[in-house]
Amino acid sequence: MDPELQRTVLLTGVDLAAFLGHRDRLIADLEAQHPDVQFHVRDEVLSLRGPADEVRQAEEVVNEVLEVARRSGAVSGQDVREVTRMVQRGDGPTAAQVLSEPILTVRGNAVRPQTAGQRSYVDAIDRNTIVFGIGPAGTGKTYLAMAKAVQALQRREVAKIILTRPAVEAGERLGYLPGSLEDKIDPYLRPLFDAVGSMMDPDLVPRLLANGTIEVAPLAYMRGRTLNESFVILDEAQNTTPEQMKMFLTRLGYGSKMVVTGDITQVDLPIAASGLRVVNRILRGVEDVHFAELTADDIVRHSLVGRIVDAYSVYEESRQQRKDGAP
C-alpha cells in the first residue's frame, strides 16, 4: 500500500483571492483531478495529504498552475485539467511554458492557448503562411486565429484583417428569410463580428470596419481579388466546395497570412464534397502550409461538450464500419 505523504506549497507571487477563485474554486478543481489527495489552504500555505505518489503528482500540478498564474494572471478549471494531463504525460515543455504566454490582453484579460494542442496551433500560425485549423466545436480554432490577426494588426505586420465565411444554408433556405440580401447573409457573419468585438475596444471596431481595416464578407465576395498585406481568416471551411477552396487560397497576395478553420464532422453542403476534406489530401506536405489537428482534448467549453464530441465520433465510426461491411 502506498504510504501517506504530506507536502506544502507556498502560494506567493500571485493575488491569492484571484488565484483561489470564488469560494476557493481552484481547490475544488484540484480535488476533481486528484480525488485521493486532500487539499487545505490557510493564509498562503496549501497543504496536500494522501498517497505518496498521488501527492507528488498533485504537488507538481499545483506548482505548474501557480507558475501559469504568475505569468499570465488568474487560472481556470480548464488550466487545472490541462496541467494535470501534461504532468501525467511527463513529456515535452512544462505546462507553464505552453500555457502562460498570452497573445493579447483584452480589457485586462489575457487571451492565450489553454491546451497543448492550442499552443501548437498558435505556434504553427507564427511559422507558416497558410494554416488549416481542423477540429470540433469549442477548440478555439477561430477565436485564437482572430487573436493572432488582431496581434498582427497591432504590430503593423499586416494592413488589414479579412474575415470570411461561406453562406451555406443549414436546414433553412436563405430565400425565405426576411429582409434584403444583406439582412439574409448577416446571421452567417454575425459570429465573426462578435469575435472581432471581443478582441478589441468596442469603440474602435466600427471605425476599423468603416475604413476597411477590418472586412467581414461572404466567401463569394473574395472572387477576383488579390489579398495583399492582410491576415485572412476563412471560417466554417467545411462548407466550402473544392472549387471555392481553390478560389480562396489563390487570393493569397504579398505579405499576407491565411488561416482556414473548420470541423469536417459538421458539413452542411447538400451534395458537393467538402473543400476542407479535399484540400487536406491535396496540400498536406506542401511547404509553408500546415494542418493543425485539434481534438476533444482541446475543447475549452463545458466539459460535457468534449464527451458529446467523443460520443458522436464513436457513433460515426461505427456507422461507417457498418457501411463498409467491416466486422
**Top-confidence residue, 169 or 36:** 36
- Here the cell at position 249 is 487560397
Distance in angstroms (rounded) separating the CA atoms of residues 99 and 108: 17
Distances (CA, A) of 192 to 67, 80, 162, 305: 33, 29, 10, 21
Q: At 195, is the pLDDT very low, low, confident or very high (cuts 50, 70, 90)?
A: confident
Higher model confidence: residue 267 or residue 301? 267
Q: Tens digit of pLDDT for each residue in 237-259?
A: 999 999 999 999 999 999 999 99
Which residues make beta-bridge pairs with 234?
164, 260
DSSP string, 262-288: E-TT----SSSPPHHHHHHHHHTT-TT
DSSP letter for each residue of 112-149: ---SHHHHHHHHHHHH-SEEEEE--TTS-HHHHHHHHH
pLDDT band of residue 169 (cuts 50, 70, 90) is very low
pLDDT in the model for residue 174: 45
**pLDDT value of residue 268:** 79
Tell me what pLDDT residue 321 has.
65
Comparison of pLDDT for 136 and 259, the residue scoring more: 259
pLDDT at 188: 64
Q: Residue 266: how many CB atoms within 10 A of its CB?
A: 14
pLDDT band at 273 (very low <50, low <70, confident <90, very high): confident
Q: Are 168 and 269 in contact (CB under 8 A)?
A: yes
Give the pLDDT confidence of 25-67 residue by residue, as tens digits.
999 999 999 999 999 999 899 999 999 999 999 999 999 899 8
Residue 102: its pLDDT value, please? 82
**Dist CA 166 CA 102 (whole Å):** 30
Q: Rounded mean pLDDT of 158-168?
A: 87
Q: Tell me how many helices (H) and strands (E) the chain has.
A: 12, 11
311 vs 11: which has the higher pLDDT: 11
Question: Which grid cell is 324?
Answer: 463498409
Dump pLDDT digits (tens) for 196-215: 888 888 888 889 988 999 99
Is there a contact between 49 and 55 (Cβ–Cβ < 8 Å)?
yes
What's the confidence (pLDDT) of residue 192?
78
What per-residue confidence (pLDDT) applies to 168?
Answer: 57
Mean pLDDT in residue range 145-161: 94
- 68-79 b/e with 16+ CB inside 10 Å = b? bbebbbbbbbbb
Which pLDDT belongs to residue 233? 95
Does 176 score more than 50 pLDDT? no
Rounded to the nearest 10°, the torsion over CA 43, 48, 75, 125 is 150
Q: What average pLDDT score do residues 144-154 get?
A: 93
Q: What is the pLDDT of residue 291?
A: 96
Give the CA distances from residue 165 to residues 180, 239, 256, 262, in Å, rounded to whole numbers and listed in that order.
18, 9, 18, 10
Residues near 263 by Cβ (< 8 Å), separated by ≥ 6? 134, 135, 136, 137, 141, 238
**The C-alpha cell of 303 is what?**
466539459
Location of C-alpha cell 471596431: 205
pLDDT for position 92: 62
Decide if pLDDT at 194 tops 70.
yes
pTM of whole model > 0.85?
no
% the chain with pLDDT above 70: 86
| Position 270 pLDDT exceeds 80 | no
Whether the predicted pLDDT of 302 surpasses 80: no
Q: pLDDT at residue 173 above 60?
A: no
Mean residue pLDDT across the chain: 84
Quote the pLDDT of residue 184: 47
Contact call for residues 168 and 236 (beta carbons, < 8 A): yes
pLDDT (0 to 100) of residue 244:
92
